Amino acid sequence: MGISILDVSKRFGSYPAVKNVELEIPTGDFVALLGPSGSGKTTLLRLIAGLEGTDSGKILFNGVDYTNKTVKDRKVGFVFQHYALFRHMTIFENIAFGLKVRPRKFRPSKSEIKEKVFNLLKLVQLEQLADRYPSQLSGGQRQRIALARALAVEPEVLLLDEPFGALDAKVRQELRHWLREIHQKLNITTVFVTHDQEEALEMADTIVVMNKGMVEQIGSPEEVYQHPVNAFVYSFLGRVNELKGSTLSESTDRITDLADGTVGYIRPHEILLNKFQQGDSLPVEVSHVHTVGAVVRIEFKPLDTEEFYGAEMDIEKYKELGSVKKGNILYAEFKNIVVFGKETETPHVLTDTNRLSAAIH
Amino acid sequence: MSTKRKQRRVLPGFGLSMGYTIVYLSLIILIPLAVLVLKASTLSLADFWQTITDKRVVASYKLTLYTSLLAAIVNAVFGTLIAWILVRYKFFGKRIIDALVDLPFALPTAVAGIALTTIYSPNGWIGQYFESLGIKIAYTPVGIMIALTFIGLPFVVRSVQPVLQELDHQYEEAASTLGAGSVQIFVKIILPAIFPAIITGFALAFARALGEYGSVVFISGNMPMKTEIVPLLIITKLEQYNYGGAAAIATVMLGFSFILLFLINFWQWRTAKKHQVT
């Protein structure tokens, strides 16, 4: 089922949680609502589910106005961050709940319910747990059951509120993969909320980046990562260094192209570090080196400044560089500074190294 | 040699805290009750049997038990309702109502009894309207029940209120996304969650009603065989210096109460266990 969100706003008291959001979600899409906490992403999800009422704007499901429909009538599957499994019911009863509360006319027979529940348990690979209570399950298992329960009512839209937020890293990784598989199998329109950019980039077909109640950018993971429309999106997706034009040029007399007040951005893996001066690289002092798996992060500051930057390289490159210790002097080359103009917020990429060196001179 | 170290506890030592618990319970509850049974045992078995099977005494047992039970049931229903309103709604004067709930605890029971009698007597404010309908409240078992409901009200409200407050809205939201209507949500989701608390409140209100004296004696009229409660009979015996007889009746009442409360607690324990906390 396709969902259209037309100019939707929602306030809590005087606090605007969602401001004039426009969003088109095609049938079968897998969408991530990505943003920091307080960006309105969960509120938007709850508005789609009908758990909150809109202040203005419309929500259409397949072109039909659903704005004033109750949660019950929207027939969406909703998965809560903390699972919200009914504690006094067994796993079987939890999954069967949505079928058992149907009006008698539409209620499946006992044997049909049983068959359906066991099919769902098979889908989430937890058939052996039917008679347990939620308190006897691990977090990852509970979240799978919560999903099975949401799917039991055959929703045409599946909404997940930070589904893996309360799980540890390893389980989270497993479940991400598994949820993708389920989406491929059932192909229902799925919207999930996350503050984890990695999760969004890894799972979603479409990413909706939100900030302060507004949509900043909508696009495929590649689009939003490679072509961020503004500084917020750029800095929210992945690690980033800020180059403040004024301070940097004052202290080094080298970066002049960055006018006062504008900020340049560069990803850590786009900073090259060398032991010897090459072309127009900047002398820097290493302040910290740490190895994270196959990646080495080096923190440094340009000489005579107090601004810290981070560079990232894979471990092979690091070995080529030779051992680096705190206090060593290296030469940094900034390959790919991105500048967002203040008014237009359109990116202006300084890719040409010659131009950059000109800028630094 | 064992290398296992004992797990550290907040209070010093199980032995000490358990010992304190037993001494405390003994001084406050067990020893006085033991003396009561001891006093009852000064009667010969035949005397004891005759005292407790006296028609008037048996009638008072029945009256006390059924009025207490009904009062506790009424409180369980309406106490839950009051707790619901206090937790789920915002309205003007909510704090005042919240404070009002505790008043039956603070008021001397005799004052409550006199006030209730004044209102519900055949020519009282409310009693006169029931009188014209042919219903008598004061000086009947109905009056006793009203007094017992009054003094037991806070128990259910105060045991259900915190549980209801803690109950996360996400369960109701989850149920509604699964297609449940509001009645279904209440019966299948909310009620099972607060039921153990309702039983706890019910048990407390029931226990309180079994022993209530002050408020009942004024409104009941104390007619033998009709509106005479057990505590009143005990007082009557005491006034006649029949300590053995009083103790005998009290012992039987104690037995009844203990068995009933034990059963209710067992029931409460079972429902609470089913609704495990995650």
Q: What is the pLDDT of residue A351?
A: 43
Q: What pLDDT does residue A248 have?
A: 52
Residue where the block lists tokens 């709940």: A97
- Rank A246-250, A356-360, B228-232 by mean pLDDT and report only the highest: B228-232
Query: Quick one: which H or E segment has residue A34?
Result: strand A30-34
Considering the domain architecture, whether residues A45 and A135 belong to the same structural domain is answered as no
Q: Phi, psi at residue B186, to the nearest 5°?
A: -65, -45
Contact B275, B193 (CB under 8 A): yes
pLDDT at A356: 41
Chain B: nearest CA to A92, how far in angstroms?
15
State pLDDT tens for residues A142-163.
999 999 999 998 898 999 999 8
Q: Is A353 helix (H, G, I), strand (E, B) or coil?
A: helix
Residue A310 and residue A263 in one domain: yes
What pLDDT, on the 0 to 100 scale, is given for residue A341?
A: 62
Look at A103-117, A187-201, A342-356, B262-276 and tell me which has the smallest mean pLDDT.
A342-356
Give the CATH number, domain containing residue A28: 3.40.50.300
Residue B4 lies in a domain: no
Cβ <8 Å between A86 and B174 = yes
Q: Are residues A58 and A18 in the same domain?
A: yes
Whether B123 has a pLDDT exceeding 60, the answer reads yes
**Which one of A43, A51, A82, A88 makes the best mutation probe of the B interface by having the most chain B beta carbons within 10 Å?**
A88
Whichever domain contains A298, its CATH number is 2.40.50.100
- CATH code for position B87: 1.10.3720.10
Contacts of B196 in chain A (CB under 8 A): none
* Domain C-terminal end among A104, A124, A154: A154
CB A95 within 8 A of CB A178: no
- Residue B19 falls within a domain, yes or no? no
A134 vs B168, B192, B278: nearest CB: B278
pLDDT for the residue A342? 56
Distances (CA, A) of B120 to B79, B115, B131, B149, B222: 22, 9, 9, 14, 16
When pLDDT is cut at 50, 70 and 90, the band that residue B191 belongs to is very high
As a whole number, mean pLDDT of residues B124-142 equals 87
- Tell me, yes or no, whether B3 lies in a domain: no
How many domains would you assign to chain A?
Answer: 3
CB contact under 8 A, A84 and B193: no
From A48, which residue of chain B is nearest by alpha-carbon distance? B177
Distance CA A155, CA B66 (A): 51
Choose the closest CB to B170 out of A49, A82, A135. Answer: A82
Q: Is residue B30 part of a domain?
A: no
pLDDT of residue A42: 93
Among A81, A64, A93, A62, CA closest to A157 = A62
Read off the pLDDT band of B7 (50, 70, 90). Answer: low
| Residue A111 lies in domain | 82-154
Nearest-Cα residue of chain B relative to residue A148: B178
CA distance A213 to chain B (A): 23
The pLDDT assigned to B225 comes to 85
pLDDT in the model for residue A7: 92
A259 and A170 within one domain: no
pLDDT of residue A1 exceeding 70: yes
Q: Is residue B10 part of a domain?
A: no
pLDDT of residue A231: 86
CA–chain centroid gap for B181, Å, is: 34
Residue B96 lies in a domain: yes
The angle formed by the CA atoms of residues A235, A236 and A241, to the nearest 5 degrees, is 30
Nearest Cα residue in chain B from A49 = B177
Cα–chain center distance at B216: 14
The answer to whether B97 and B154 have CB atoms below 8 angstroms apart is no
pLDDT class for A316, splitting at 50, 70, 90?
confident
Confidence band of A120 (pLDDT split at 50, 70, 90): very high
Select from A87, A88, A101 the Cβ nearest to the Cβ of B184: A101
As a whole-number percent, the residues of chain B with pLDDT over 70 amount to 94
Res A3: pLDDT: 92
Domain boundary among A178, A203, A237: A237
pLDDT tens-digit readout, A258-272: 555 667 788 888 888
The contact set of B with A (CB < 8 A) is 168, 170-171, 173-181, 184, 188-189, 192-193, 274-278
The DSSP line for B72-114 is HHHHHHHHHHHHHHHHH---TTHHHHHHHHHHHHHS-HHHHHH
Please check the confidence at residue A278 and state whether its pLDDT lies above 80. no
Q: How far is B10 from chain A (nearest CA, A)?
A: 26
Determine contact, residues B221/B117, Cβ cutoff 8 Å. Answer: no
> Taking CB atoms and an 8 Å cut-off, how many pairs form between chains A and B?
71
Rg of chain B over Cα atoms, rounded to whole angstroms, equals 23
Contact residues of A toward B, CB < 8 A: 49, 51, 70-72, 75-78, 80, 82, 84-88, 97-98, 101-102, 133-135, 149-150, 152-153
Q: How confident is the model at residue A352 (pLDDT cuts 50, 70, 90)?
A: very low
Chain mean pLDDT for chain B: 88
Quote the pLDDT of residue A252: 43
A contacts of B177 (beta carbons < 8 Å): 49, 51, 71-72, 76-78, 150
Same domain, A248 and A334: yes
Residue of A nearest to B172 (CA): A84
Same domain (yes/no): A192, A261:
no
CA distance A225 to A34: 12
Kindly provide the b/e burial profile for residues B60-73, where b requires at least 16 CB atoms within 10 angstroms of the residue's own CB. Answer: bbebbbebbbbbbe
Half-sphere exposure of B262 (CA within 13 A, CB side): 6
Contacts of B275 in chain A (CB under 8 A): 87-88
For chain B, how many structural domains are there in total? Answer: 1
pLDDT of residue A186 exceeding 90, the answer is no
Of A131, A154, A177, which one is at a domain's C-terminal end?
A154
- For residue A97, the chain B residue with the least C-alpha distance is B178
End-to-end CA, chain B: 38
C-beta atoms of A98 and B274 within 8 A: no
Residue of A nearest to B270 (CA): A88
With contacts defined as CB-CB under 8 Å, which chain B residues touch A71? Answer: 173, 176-177
Residue B12 to residue B8: CA distance in whole angstroms: 9
Kindly state the average pLDDT of the residues B75-103.
93
Which residue, among A78, A87, A91, would best test binding to B if mutated, counting the most B CBs under 10 Å from its CB? Answer: A87
Q: Determine contact, residues A209/A23, Cβ cutoff 8 Å.
A: no
Residue among A76, A80, A152 minimizing CB distance to B170: A80
Tell whether A267 and A348 lie within a shared domain: yes
Q: Taking residues A331-354, what's their average pLDDT?
A: 60
What is d(CA A56, CA A6) in angstroms, rounded to the nearest whole number? 9
How far is Cα A216 from Cα A229, in angstroms, rounded to an integer?
A: 8
The band of B277, judged by pLDDT with boundaries at 50, 70 and 90, is very low
Question: What local confidence, expressed as pLDDT, does residue A353 receive?
Answer: 39
Inter-chain CB proximity B171 and A135 less than 8 Å = no
Answer yes or no: is B240 within a domain.
yes
What pLDDT is stored for residue B6 in this prediction? 56
Best mutation site among A43, A48, A71, A131 for testing chain B: the one with the most B CBs within 10 Å? A71
* Least confident interval from A62-66, A89-93, A340-344: A340-344
pLDDT (mean) for A65-93? 90
For the entire predicted model, the pTM comes to 0.77
